Structure 1
Amino acid sequence: MEPPPLGPAEIVVDLAAIRANARLLRATAGVALIAVVKADGYGHGMVESARAAQAGGAEWLATATIEEALVLRAAGVDGRLLCWITGPDADYRRAADEDIDVSAYSVEELDRMAAAYAGRAAPARVQLKLDTGLSRGGAPRAAWPALFARARAGEQEGRWRITGIWSHFACADEPQHPANDRQEAAFREGLALAEEHGLRPELRHLANSAAAILRPSARFDAVRCGIAVYGLDPAPGERTDIGLVPAMTVRAPLLLVKDLAPGDAVSYGQRWVAEQPTTVGLVPVGYGDGIPRHASQPGAADRAATVGIDGKPRPLRGTVCMDQVVVDLGGDRPALGSEVVVFGPPGAGGPSAQDWAVACGTINYEIVTRIGGRMSRRYVDSEAGA
């Protein structure tokens, strides 16, 4: 199906790719798939991505916050749903009433939950997060006995049921890093201690996208996949090529073509100067739309990010502006209105999100999650031809 005529810049998301990626991850791991749709589905749209992942076989969905989870429920998305970031004023009661699993990191948090759940007829659903070495969210090792004891007491009181115990890798994208073995061993220790305290969770989960593919021993009862659901490589350079398909294409129209003579400088600060005659094009996307301002490296043309026009890579020149970028056309004069592929899957005619990540010295997660601004988002379904 031909894309519609280009208007303003847009993000095109192929829901068939998300479904296919979910199916592939579920089959690869051989256990339940928790599809992570936080941060507006990593820039792909939270509600639409959630539905596509469920259609691809994801048994669970996950968000960072209760507020994100409530958006899914308000949109009619049902099924198992986990979130893990809450503050002291979190609406635990609302989450329980909407059948959302929340995560507890401490005895103090469990005490706040107990107060919120007072008077409920049915126990709430609570999971425990353990810090096994990331030193971010989760209960540290010294706090596990007290956490498990309080969790079990709450079960016996009928306040909640501990539905899961989980943790998160720090270095899963580096499969040889010794922290991975240490964290998995610590997690197993935590599970054994929880069992000693009488806890019998239905779900034990540790593996993120990279570990779901690269570390079979860490799959347990479920894998939590975020970036891989959207078709991006969670561990570039490792053995992660299982056939994932990027779901996002960012496209914009070419607005202007002009000639440059040697010595002409481009954009704010005049940090890029033409060394020979060339042509440049104007593309209406900038840092106000999530394009990283450092995507064009001053004086280092070989490291500049590119876009695709007429199937050719066109490097960014000069400083990225709020609303626009300038690209080097190398003497070519594409027609005004020509499609500019900022990034997309193979075959889209431009670079990948990973290519942009390399050019910007970051990770593909950041590239797709930050993109948007004034761009519209359009959904297609390549399997349905729509």
Structure 2
Amino acid sequence: MYYRDTYAKIDCDAIAHNLSLLKKQSSKALIAVLKANAYGHNDYWTAKTAMESGCCMVAVSSLDEALSLRKQGFYDQILILGHIRPQDIPIAIEQHVSVSVISAEWLNQVVACCSDLRKLIFHIKVDTGMNRIGLKKIEDVHRAIDLILDHNGIPEGIFTHYACADSESKEMCEQQFYTFKEIISACKYPFKWMHAENSAALLSYEDTLTNAARCGLAMYGISPVKSDLDLHPALSLFTHITCVKRIKKEYVGYGAAFQAKEDCIIATLPIGYADGFLRTNQGRFLYCSHEWIEVVGRVCMDQCMVKLPYMLPVGTPVEIISKHCPVTQMAKDLNTIPYEILCILSDRIPRKIYYHQQEVAIINNRLHDQNP
């Protein structure tokens, strides 16, 4: 249930469609990346759809995100791609959550905190040029494998991350790939999973070494590179007109940032920057009743104002992200990337989940409500 006329529609069938295309694009196993509440799409339903579509596991950024899935009844493999505090390793073991080795120092702290790592699955992160997290030296990778095995852990995977996979030039990818290949060859360890490709690399730079790929943005229907794949965006964002008034040559909004040059019609929408609809949307156009309507005045915390071409009734729906207003265009207008637009959509916005062409749930985290 929700009580404010703003919501996002999440199309799980679109996610399944995109994954089917990505599986045809690559012969590798797919790891579904669900960071930041599945890029704003809802972690549980995206995870459910991903596993039903044949993914080998899902990946999240933190233990909190992993536990969110476990508490919702998701029991398949979860890999934490980022940092987990060494003292929290027992929770990962208890919840059967796989973790990433992010540094030699981190692994030393882990074995100091928990000498028995029985059944804990590790993926060793190799830093091949991103310089964020990961092991850079081959001797550190060797020692990580030995430490994990000596403490009854399972060194299941090894992975790296391309820094420039969305660039036209693949020179950086080539450098990182060969660094990664050299380290794996030197390890001589039979890792079950080796993965390096993100969505951009999966679509534009397929390596011949790894056997799994991490799909994030492309799974949600947005390509980070030029691609002929018929990806379907899975998230749409709608609001509704709550107030309409005629004004003369008056100011609108905070700071009197907009002044009507003539008599016009102003409508108010119940969405603002606290929902992730940023102040920089001022001056952009939304889609309503087959018309483009301009956001005028400064976007407020909870509301914004638009200029209508003619009188429309309260309750008229307005498209913010849709086939008419793609998130890629919004990102371009705001000089950012689609990832950021999707991830900042607040949990104030309920998610209507559509699965097998039916509405199956309304997720409203503010009401702790996940009922159909």
Structure 1 residue 211: deviation in Å? 0.8
Structure 1 residue 5: deviation in Å? 11
Q: Which residues in structure 2 correspond to 1:29-48 (within 5 Å)?
A: 29-48=26-45
Structure 1 match to 2:177: 184
Within the alignment, does 1:63 sit opposite 2:66 as a pair?
Answer: no
Within the alignment, does 1:128 sit opposite 2:124 as a pair?
Answer: yes
Structure 2 match to 1:299: none
TM-score (norm 2): 0.90
Q: Which residues in structure 2 correspond to 1:331-370 (within 5 Å)?
A: 332-344=310-322, 346=323, 350-370=324-344
> 3-state SS of the aligned residue for 2:353?
strand
Corresponding residue to 2:18 among 17, 21, 30: 21
Following the alignment from structure 1 to structure 2, what is the Cα–Cα distance between the partners of residues 317 and 260? 13
Structure 1 residue 266: deviation in Å? 2.1
Structure 1 residue 385: deviation in Å? 7.4
Structure 1 residue 276: deviation in Å? 3.8
Unaligned runs of 5+ in 1: 297-303
Structure 2 match to 1:294: 280
Q: Which amino acid letter does the alignment assign opposite residue 96 of structure 2?
A: D
Q: Which residues in structure 2 correspond to 1:269-308 (within 5 Å)?
A: 269-296=255-282, 304-308=283-287
Q: Which residues in structure 2 correspond to 1:243-322 (within 5 Å)?
A: 243-261=230-248, 263-296=249-282, 304-322=283-301
**2:149–2:155 CA contact under 8 A, matched in 1:** no
Q: Which residues in structure 2 correspond to 1:109-120 (within 5 Å)?
A: 109-119=106-116
Using a 3 Å threshold, how does the CA distance of structure 1 residues 373 and 93 change in structure 2: closer, same or farther?
A: closer
Within the alignment, does 1:212 sit opposite 2:202 as a pair?
Answer: yes
Structure 1 residue 164: deviation in Å? 0.9
Q: Give CA-to-partner distance per residue, 1:319-370, whole Å, 9 cap, x none.
A: 111111111223x1122100111112x2xxx411112111211111111111
RMSD: 2.2
Structure 1 match to 2:165: 172
Structure 1 match to 2:222: 232
Structure 2 match to 1:100: 97
Q: Which amino acid letter does the alignment assign opposite residue 344 of structure 2?
A: R
**2:181–2:209 CA contact under 8 A, matched in 1:** no
Structure 2 match to 1:300: none
Q: Give CA-to-partner distance per residue, 1:70-89, whole Å, 9 cap, x none.
A: 22123221222211222444
TM-score (norm 1): 0.87
Q: Which amino acid letter does the alignment assign opposite residue 292 of structure 2?
A: P
Structure 1 match to 2:348: 374
Q: Give CA-to-partner distance per residue, 1:45-86, whole Å, 9 cap, x none.
A: 111111111122211100011221122123221222211222
**1:6–1:252 CA contact under 8 A, matched in 2:** no
Using a 3 Å threshold, how does the CA distance of structure 1 residues 218 and 368 change in structure 2: closer, same or farther?
A: farther
Following the alignment from structure 1 to structure 2, what is the Cα–Cα distance between the partners of residues 18 and 157? 41
> 3-state SS of the aligned residue for 1:220?
coil
Q: State the identity %.
A: 28
Following the alignment from structure 2 to structure 1, what is the Cα–Cα distance between the partners of residues 352 and 237? 10
